[in-house]
Structure 1
Amino acid sequence: MSNYSVFIRSIVVALLIMVLSACSDKQNEHVAIRFSHGLDTQHPVHKSLIYMNEVLQQVSGGSMELIIYPSAQLGSEREVLELLQIGSLGMTKVSASSLEAFVPQMKVFSLPYLFNNHAHFWQTLNSEIGQQLLDAGTPYRVKGLGYFDAGSRSFYTTKRKVENPEQLTGLKIRVMNSQSAVDMVNTMGASATPVSWGELYTALQQGIVEGAENNPPSFYFSKHYEVSKYYLLDEHTAIPDVIVIGTHKWNSLTQQQQSWLTQAMQEAVVYQRILWAEATKDSLQKVKDAGVEVIVADKTSFQKSVEPIYQKLQGTKLEPLVNSIKALGEH
């Protein structure tokens, strides 16, 4: 072998060693991912994220962890999504509605009475449709890792009991900053009024809005039951929470690290569903004990009131997705 060949071979071997060493160093480095969400530390979502962090540390041998910032310490859902996009934050939990601006297909979850029941809802999330929706944010630098249960959203009011859509007429109902939510509440006959979550208690107390809509645990943990004494279980929408990671952070992880994070996510999803079911039952009992009248709605009139929303979907890009979801429920 010539001296030149030996020289070239030495360079190749040296480069290979450098690459392998770099990969090894990256594999063994400690990775701390900053995770922000807007919920209270007693909320099932926060407890499930604590569990997710425990699983992540265990499967990674302590080389990975989540640094969790609850109670909107780092900003609103919209603000933290923007932080994810520029790489200043690693992960977050947001409502699927908050992703509509980045992933238009997420609007499907805001359609009222789309799912036959909770089983149909989870059948959809666990299907190829659910995975496609998680992946749809990648061009916008956000990647969905999994879904948390956020139950079904129902109306609660401060001044008068509501049992049918006609009784919503004229009421100012707080909605999320989502055009789909605005359209739904307006179609039912109320006056949709976007108010930030952090300002809602005061808005209800002062009469700026006369009602809102959310799931039972959020109604309880927010203490909105203190100023809203009527809770109507009409269960108009089932909008999941989505665990999101910025693509900048995801792409910085090795394949093994991505696998560990994915495993922790999967185990947390199972754990959170159990906590959520318990929290829903417990929250309804606690608000009843606090004097809230819980009314079980006859959903037929509410379903009829939102038919115009589905009529407007005809010929739109969302229609095939809606049809696919409905088809799942027929099996």
Structure 2
Amino acid sequence: MLTATDVHVSDYPTVEAVRWIGETLERETGGRLRLRLYHSGQLGREAEAIDMARFGAIDFARVYSGALNNAFPLTRALCLPYAFESVAHMRRAMDGEVGRAVLDGFGGRGLVGLAIYDSGARCFYNARRPIHVPADLAGMKIRVPVSDIFIRMLRLFGANATPLSLGEVYSGMETHMIDGAENNIRSFHSSRHFEAARYWSQSEHSYAPDVLLLSRRTWDALAPGDRELVRETARASVQVMRQAWDASEAAAREQVLAAGIDTNDVDMDAFRRAAAPLLAEYRRDPRIDALYARIRAAA
């Protein structure tokens, strides 16, 4: 019995894609390979999921690329501010040599990179006011993933960056420990954060994707034919995820608008200028700069 973990809820597109992997593996092997999926953070946070997969305590882990930045430097290129122009741009880059390079980069530290999933356009939401320019974030405590890039980016925008796990955000806003967060609208809806944060600002400062990982111990224990089946099924699951993502993202947007959320566009150029020093610093690393150049070429 293989195991998989995801912090998102049962009907989230990444969860549905991994569930499809399990169903396909079971069907193709006559039940010899089966998958038990733990969703909704049942096995803990993403940082814990990465460690559990590395040491063989679980088999599959779907995690956000920002959570991988410190241990796997190539993932930093995916998280740089305004690296991607759109979902279509991100998908082109991930389907090509950029995605292959990132997935290959997991090989040396106990993991196998299987697939790259969408994570949508990350934008700001909060309980205090609309955000039009970076100065509007001044004094706000904004949750970010546990990632140096996001922490430093938010500081450049003028916010008080507060790293928390996704599961702590709702209570953090309810108790006023934080004023808001940044994430995609699908997660804004599924986590019910729109009940506590009534302002959504379409900053699109990141399209950093998710990654599906497999424990290297599990990979090594599989027969060669099963390895190929797992790899090909994971690749095929990307289209399953994208179809679910596109439909559910549109539905989530409709539902948060119907709930009366105040939405606004932002001054993108002002945010790009504020983030420029961070981008320049990370591009001093030749490996990051080379991947970033390929990402931009795919625009």
Give the count of matched residue pairs. Answer: 298
In structure 1, the partner of 2:159 is 190
Matched, 1:148 2:117: yes
Q: Distance in 2 between matches of 1:260 and 1:280?
A: 30
CA drift of 1:314 comes to 4.6
Residue of 239, 244, 251 corresponding to 2:213: 244
In structure 2, the partner of 1:89 is 58
The C-alpha deviation readout for 1:190-236, integer Å capped at 9, x for no partner, is 11111221111011111111110000110001000001000111111
**Contact residue 143 and residue 246 of structure 1 kept, 8 A:** yes
Matched, 1:39 2:12: no
**Contact residue 86 and residue 207 of structure 2 kept, 8 A:** no
Residue of 177, 180, 204 corresponding to 1:211: 180
The C-alpha deviation readout for 1:243-272, integer Å capped at 9, x for no partner, is 100111011111110122123212211011
SS at match of 1:208: coil
CA RMSD of aligned residues (A): 1.4
Q: Which runs of 4 or more aligned residues in structure 1 lie more than 6 Å from their structure 2 counterparts after TM superposition? A: none
Q: Point out the structure with max Rg over C-alpha.
A: 1
Matched, 1:80 2:49: yes
The C-alpha deviation readout for 1:134-187, integer Å capped at 9, x for no partner, is 121111101110011111100001011112212111211110111011011111
Counterpart amino acid of 1:291?
Answer: G
SS at match of 1:242: strand
Name stretches of at least 5 consecutive residues in structure 1 with no aligned partner: 1-31
In structure 2, the partner of 1:319 is 289
Higher RCO (C-alpha under 8 Å, 6+ residues apart):
2
In structure 2, the partner of 1:305 is 274
The C-alpha deviation readout for 1:48-70, integer Å capped at 9, x for no partner, is 22222112222223221211111
Q: Distance in 2 between matches of 1:307 and 1:193?
A: 21
Q: Distance in 2 between matches of 1:124 and 1:328?
A: 6
SS at match of 1:256: helix
If the length of structure 2 is used for normalisation, what is the TM-score? 0.96
SS at match of 2:142: strand
Q: Distance in 1 between matches of 2:145 and 2:30?
A: 40
If the length of structure 1 is used for normalisation, what is the TM-score? 0.87
Identity of aligned residues (%): 28
Q: Distance in 2 between matches of 1:203 and 1:166?
A: 23
Residue of 48, 56, 64 corresponding to 2:17: 48
- Of stretches 205-214 and 258-267 in structure 1, the one that deviates more from structure 2 is 258-267
SS at match of 2:34: strand
- Of stretches 315-324 and 36-45 in structure 1, the one that deviates more from structure 2 is 315-324
Counterpart amino acid of 1:296?
Answer: D
SS at match of 2:3: strand
Name stretches of at least 5 consecutive residues in structure 2 with no aligned partner: none
Matched, 1:99 2:68: yes
In structure 2, the partner of 1:328 is 298
Q: Distance in 2 between matches of 1:268 and 1:311?
A: 35
Q: Distance in 2 between matches of 1:144 and 1:187?
A: 32
Q: Distance in 2 between matches of 1:314 and 1:195?
A: 26
Alignment of 1:199-278 (within 5 A): 199-278=168-247
